[in-house]
Amino acid sequence: MLSLLAGGGIVNGLIKYVAQYKKQPKELLKTIAVSKAYSLVFCVVVCLLGCSFSRVISSYIFKTPDYYWIVVFLSVAQFGFAFTNLVTGVANGLRDTKTFAVIQIVGNILVLPVSWILIKRFDFVGAAISMVLFFSFYSIPALYFYCKSIFLKLPVGFKFEKQGFKRLLSFTLMATVGAISVPLVEIIVREQIIEHVGFVAAGIWQASIKLSSAYMGFFTIFLAVYFMPMVSEKTKVAEITPLVFKFMKLVMVIFVLGGALFFALRQYVIPLLLSSEFSELEGLIKYQLLADFFRVTTYVISFVVVARAALKIYLLSELTQGVVFCSLSLFFLNSGQGVEGAFIANLIMNVIYFIVSVFGFVIYKRRNA
């Protein structure tokens, strides 16, 4: 959550405005200066809160206050998270996808051996530190690219501007809702499954969520890095519409090909990625794949909403999804459907989300034609 929210969670906002002003140097530098100041303020507030309530947070997460120092470590490390988010946000807004890719790859390569040593020697504590370092190490290649960029030579300071902060606040709220609502919904549904079916069923369902997150992450990054800057550059709906339908077709084709291959090889892939104890998931993964097909297609429209900074629509859609999914899950579980009911509820919710999003975009297109 903190890796997404570090610096205010304004990566998408930075991508939008950098793409929008990349041909207007003064506005571009002003946007970066305001973003730096906004991120700094947010980081300082989070750091102070994290350090002040470190024992309380440790007691809640680790069930003991003894690990308060890990919370303090995380509170300080999030300054590095925010710096990386700023560098990648500017790079993606300028469509410099190579820089983003290299930062991710190099960061992962650097942290792997360190994590292996920490976990092997210090067990749980080593694993906890590794989770913090996992995101911290991205700042090393990010610093390298920043030092090589023109922005180091330009007078880009910190600009504390009320209007600029207000504009970025929309993206902070969207990121906060997204970062909190998804884990919260997962926790609620998992508790429902445990109560109605048991821990094993909850583990099966949670495993499908983890697999889904892995391949859906590819589409999320692809759309954020490549699609959203293109949409942000456009000012007319007539220019955005062809892009939306083009990318919807593209992600559909990619997902169908990848999903079909995954489903065909599920008897080998699932035990390989998880273990043979998750064999029950082989009969349920079809629901997850179908649900993710509709979700990934809807992502295209969702990124248009983010690119247009449509805060109310985003918040309403995120909260509605959570309520619908939780309600359907509880209904199916109470009806004796077992863990399969949770998978079916997820599928129905994503189909509804897809239909409503498409109709909403069509209405938006006609009103702004």
**Is the model's pLDDT at 347 over the cut of 90?**
yes
Give the pLDDT confidence score for residue 358 in this predicted structure.
Answer: 87
User: What's the whole-number mean pLDDT along residues 362-369?
Assistant: 76
Determine which of 135-144, 295-304, 307-316, 327-336 has the lowest per-residue pLDDT on average. Answer: 307-316
Least confident of 35-49, 128-142, 303-317: 303-317
CA 207 → CA 179, 192, 202, 266, distances in Å?
A: 19, 16, 8, 13
Which H or E run includes 136?
helix 97-136
Mean of pLDDT values over 206-221? 87
- Please give the pLDDT value at position 45: 93
Q: Are 123 and 157 in contact (CB under 8 A)?
A: no
Which helix (H) or strand (E) segment holds residue 188: the answer is helix 162-196
Q: Which pLDDT score is estimated for 62?
A: 82
Contacts of 231 (CB under 8 A, 6+ apart): 240, 243, 244, 303, 304, 307, 308
Q: Determine the Cα–Cα distance for residues 8 and 261; give it in Å rounded to an integer.
A: 38
pLDDT confidence of residue 329: 92
Q: What are phi and psi of 156, to 5 degrees?
A: -100, 95
Instruction: Identify which has the larger pLDDT, 310 or 30.
Output: 30
What pLDDT is recorded for position 162?
85
With a cut of 70, say whether residue 369 has pLDDT above it: no
Q: What is the mean pLDDT of residues 132-146?
A: 91
Question: What is the Cα 197 distance to its own chain's centre?
Answer: 30
What percentage of the chain has pLDDT greater than the value 90? 37
CA distance 61 to 84: 26
- 308 pLDDT tier (thresholds 50, 70, 90): low
Tokens 């303020």 belong to which residue? 41
In whole angstroms, what is the distance from residue 278 CA to residue 266 CA?
A: 11
- Helix axis angle, 339-367 to 285-307, nearest 10°: 30
Predicted pLDDT at 328: 92
Provide the sign of the torsion angle of the four alpha carbons 345, 348, 354, 359, taken in this order.
negative
Whether the per-residue pLDDT at 306 is higher than 80: the answer is: no
Section 312-334 average pLDDT: 87
pLDDT classification of 309: cutoffs 50, 70, 90? low
pLDDT, tens digit, 9 for 90 and up, residues 56-70? 999 988 888 999 999
Q: How confident is the model at residue 260 (pLDDT cuts 50, 70, 90)?
A: very high
13: pLDDT strictly greater than 90: no
The contacts of residue 289 (CB under 8 Å, 6+ apart) are 259, 262, 263
C-alpha 354: how far from its chain's center? 19
- CB of 13 closer than 8 Å to CB of 63: no
Task: Compare 170 and 235 and report the one with higher pLDDT.
Answer: 170
- Which residue shows structure tokens 């179908």? 290
pLDDT of residue 238: 79
Position 152 pLDDT exceeds 90: no
Residue 119 buriedness (CB in 10 A; 0-12 / 13-18 / 19+): middle
Work out the angle between the directed axes of helices 162-196 and 11-21 (0-180°, nearest 10): 140
Non-local (6+) Cβ contacts of 266 within 8 A are: 282, 285
54-62 helix and 25-52 helix, angle to the nearest 10 degrees = 80
pLDDT for the residue numbered 310: 67
C-alpha 137/C-alpha 107 separation (Å) is 5
Return mean pLDDT, the chain. 87
Lowest mean pLDDT: which of 83-97, 122-136, 141-155, 345-359?
A: 141-155
